[in-house]
Amino acid sequence: MQLDIITVDNTFEKEDETRAQLKKLTEAGVDGVMIDVWWGLVEGKEPGVYDWSAYKQVFKLVQEAGLKLQAIMSCHQCGGNVGDVVNIPIPQWVRDVGEDNPDIFYTNREGVRNIEYLTLGVDDQPLFHGRTAIQLYADYMKSFRENMADFLDAGVIVDIEVGLGPAGEMRYPSYPQSQGWVYPGIGEFICYDKYLKADFKAAAAAAGHPASMNFTCAEMRDNEQSSEAKSAPEELVQQVLSAGWREGLNLACENALSRYDATAYNTILRNARPQGINKNGAPEHKLYGFTYLRVSDELFEGENYTTFKTFVRRMHANLDYNPKVDPVAPLKRSKPEIPIEEILAVAQPRLKPFPFEKNTDLPV
């Protein structure tokens, strides 16, 4: 859904427009929608005070439309990255802590701070009114679970994704446009806050259901990239998906940029089923899910909408939508953390990726 479906003052003002858009998506055969759940909005006023009212209104409309919902726990700033159309910072009371202690933010070697996400170095530091960063995120997600129990129990919410850093990605904010970075420039190390310099740790948690990973740029072709960038998104997607499938992960993807053309859709379809459909059963390798970014007026215009509907049908292998196909199991409570040493111990060396067909066998 649109980044600004909830306003910066945490209200929902587009009920009629959203209802109409959801109806269009239902008519196109879409399975469901994804929505960012912004920490900066829900716990924006003061520590431990959560306001879910606006999100409940949106979730109710999704339920009434008969669609499923992916909820993204977005604990980063919206604004300053590609495609950001609104500015939603992290909570003000968290930024106030940074006024006296700017090392809570990622820092480059010149001392420039990036305030779009808390540095990993404060994960276990009780700097936020007695809570650590991990406790902030955990309390936020616990409140979500408690307040959205009805939607979870009803099976409306079928997927919860957790943003792991700036722009929701597991990375340093090493190439921020808001600080002058221009594609295809090279990023830099952003690990010079005092906490990361003193004790840089990585943390991982195991979910109570099959582990999954979501990767981006599924729509990009190599020949669309600037030669100056020396970028190869097709090979990157192929390597990442192959590595994930080898580890038995559920692999999902999304597009990086809004595209409405058949070339982009066909690239997504090829990546969704790299070796085409299998008439004798499920393909050996296929995506667990795909999230299209994003709902807009342009998507529903004339030929764009017609092509989009064809794309959705091709994603369903030309079959009518059936919610009983590839059913999603109920979400389970997370298990205890797995030490990073155990994760590293089972990591496999880089292997040759699985073969991908040059093009999809079900083009738009």
Catalytic residues: 169, 254
Looking at 156-229, list the stretches that DSSP marks H as alpha helix, in order from N- to C-terminal side: 194-198
Q: Which residue's structure tokens are 């427009």? A: 17
| 165 within 8 A of 77, measured Cβ to Cβ | no
Q: CA 21, CA 247: separation in Å to the nearest integer? A: 38
The number of CA neighbours under 13 Å toward the Cβ of 13 is 6
Segments in 30-122 forming alpha helices (H): 39-42, 53-64, 92-100
* CA within 13 Å, CB half, 350: 4
* Distance, CA of 255 to CA of 292 (rounded, Å): 6
Contact 247/329 with Cβ under 8 angstroms? no
Long-range CB pairs of 2-7 (<8 Å, 24+ gap) are 2/85, 2/294, 2/295, 2/296, 3/36, 3/78, 3/83, 3/84, 3/85, 3/86, 3/88, 3/294, 4/85, 4/86, 5/35, 5/58, 6/38, 6/41, 6/54, 6/55, 6/58, 7/54
Spatial distance between the Cα atoms of 295 and 301, rounded to a whole number of angstroms? 11
